[in-house]
Chain A
Amino acid sequence: MTNSTNGAAGLQLALAWGFVGIPLLWGVTQTIINATALFH
């Protein structure tokens, strides 16, 4: 197997990481917003 990914494999990879990355990013953003209260 080579590391070179064709378009479909690249899309699959992007979808998989987006599937977990977007909720995680949302959660991290919410946490940071709440944490800013500590510095007010």
Chain B
Amino acid sequence: MSYATTTPSDGGGLLSRSRSVAKPGFNRWMVPPAALCIHLCIGQAYALSVFNLPMTKLIGITAAAPDDWKLTELGWIFSIAIFVLGASAAIFGRWVEEGGPRRAMFTAGLCWAAGFFISAIGVYVHNLWIVYLGYGVFGGIGLGLGYISPVSTLIKWFPDRPGMATGMAIMGFGGGAMIASPLSVFLMKQFSTPTHVGVQEAFIGLGLVYLAFMWVGAAIVRVPPPGWAPEGYTPPVKAQKLVTKNDVFVYDALKTPQFWLIWAVLCLNVTAGIGVLGQASAMTQEMFPGRVTPVAAAGFVGLLSLFNMGGRFFWASISDFIGRKWTYFCFFVLGTALYAIVPWTGTIGSITGFVLCFLIIISMYGGGFATVPAYLRDMFGTRYVGAIHGWLITAWSAAGVFGPVLVNYIRQFQIDNGVAKAQAYNTTMYIMAGLLVVGFFCNLAVKAVHERFHMTSDVEEAQASVAVVGEPAGV
């Protein structure tokens, strides 16, 4: 690998960008584990539901007492966290981009762990508002900062394979739940007694483990020096229509139709998947009554998590070869076809067909998350990709509301109108297919960003003087 000889200095502290510039000899493959340290921890958010039932029995212990929290009240913890995730990623995106990954990862670890510690206090004093503040607000900020913190760094270290690099990190977010779920059950079991369910101790344990893990990530992450490029890598000489060589300033990117088209693409792709993820267990049991047991349904949910995680790496890596637009083209065409087939698998009673359809759908749900940072990089350049990605994450927050609402309310509407439970999801599946058709057209409309949005060298210098010192130039 080739390095420039200058080492920038912004006079910052241990967490500053300039102090995290890689020295000669640094192996860029150290960066994905640093990113995984963050994403494997914050991926716990997908496993929060393992605490739901125990938290409804904090007073009654063996069964819910009248003063115990209700499931509906507990559901807000996740909703607040996902909302704050989107908001904080948008608000702090530029701060993350300009301050470098180490400061962002360190702060994300602090907020994420604080979320658990404050929630433990909330459980101890049995005050749900403290849990909302802890996990929802502090944890949500940790989620937002943590999610975007390693993305642009990975893109800069892997200009030759940006999709694969970000796919690896974002795969960790999918995998985090697989670790958190059994770990949380283990911790609660260790601390539970006949008079105590062990939730607050489990929260404290998780907070400590995550704090240590995320700070290790912050310690080993490095940014490439100015002018760095992988050895033997030469940027494509032939101009590619949908891969820019220019940078777009974060707030200018928000003025482009491309940003909002990609926002819609992500939102629609996520909406189609997220509603199913939340209802997978109930859906299988209701569509195949008497044939799928609760234990088997839990196994199905586990398989979905596995494909959600694997899809992130697989599809993002594929996108390096076929291009981002074509990758989303696959998601929307294949997704539409599969959602249209699902009701038919229920009619003929094919559990295998049903499972296969959803495994592929969920792999594309994960793939959508993992491919989008590279899509943004192709459209807006590397310089502010982290900050732009932060704004794009609001699409996830929006989908987090639309998806479950669509699945839950349409199902209930169908049942209220006398439709059998086994067929109650059919309309939802067709609506999901329709959403993906809309997504297909949004993706189709994505064209190269107009050159009037490109940063000129004067603007870049002005931005650099107030913001990034030691930013890699044209990596």
Contacts and interface: CB of A to CB of B under 8 A. Distances in A.
B25 A20 contact: no
B387 to A, nearest CB: 26
Interface in B201-244: 216, 220, 231
B298 interface: yes
A24 B299 contact: no
A20 to B, nearest CB: 4
B58 interface: no
B30 A34 contact: no
B30 to A, nearest CB: 5
A36 B24 CA distance: 47
Interface string B174-191: 010111111000000000
A25 B206 CA distance: 18
Contacts of B29: 13, 17
B175 A24 contact: yes
A1 B1 contact: yes
A20 B1 contact: no
B33 A27 contact: no
Interface string A1-40: 1110100010011001101110110111011101111111
A9 B25 contact: yes
A1 B15 CA distance: 24
B34 interface: yes
A32 B40 contact: no
Nearest to A5: B27
A1 B1 CA distance: 5
A13 B369 CA distance: 27
Contacts of B349: none
B36 interface: yes
Interface stretch (B78-86, B301-309, B377-385, B461-469): B301-309
A16 B306 contact: no
B30 A31 contact: no
A13 B296 CA distance: 39
A26 to B, nearest CB: 7
Tell which of A5, A17, A19 has the most Cβ of chain B within 10 Å: A19
B24 to A, nearest CB: 5
Contacts of B300: 35, 38
B172 interface: yes
Contacts of A32: 302, 306
B113 interface: no
B188 to A, nearest CB: 15
A12 B28 CA distance: 12
B413 interface: no
Nearest to B185: A30
B355 interface: yes
Nearest to A18: B33
27 contacts: A1-B24, A2-B1, A2-B231, A9-B27, A12-B27, A19-B33, A20-B40, A23-B179, A24-B36, A24-B172, A27-B178, A27-B180, A27-B181, A27-B182, A31-B306, A32-B302, A32-B306, A35-B300, A36-B299, A37-B293, A37-B296, A37-B298, A37-B299, A38-B296, A38-B303, A39-B299, A40-B296
Give the 3 A-B CB pairs with smallest separation, nearest first.
A27-B178, A38-B299, A27-B179
Interface of A: 1-3, 5, 9, 12-13, 16-17, 19-21, 23-24, 26-28, 30-32, 34-40
Interface of B: 1-3, 24-27, 29-30, 33-34, 36-37, 40, 172, 175, 177-182, 216, 220, 231, 293, 295-300, 302-303, 305-306, 309, 355
Given A35-B303, A35-B306, 15 more contacts: A1-B3, A13-B29, A16-B33, A17-B29, A20-B37, A24-B36, A27-B175, A28-B175, A28-B306, A30-B178, A30-B182, A31-B302, A34-B299, A38-B297, A38-B299
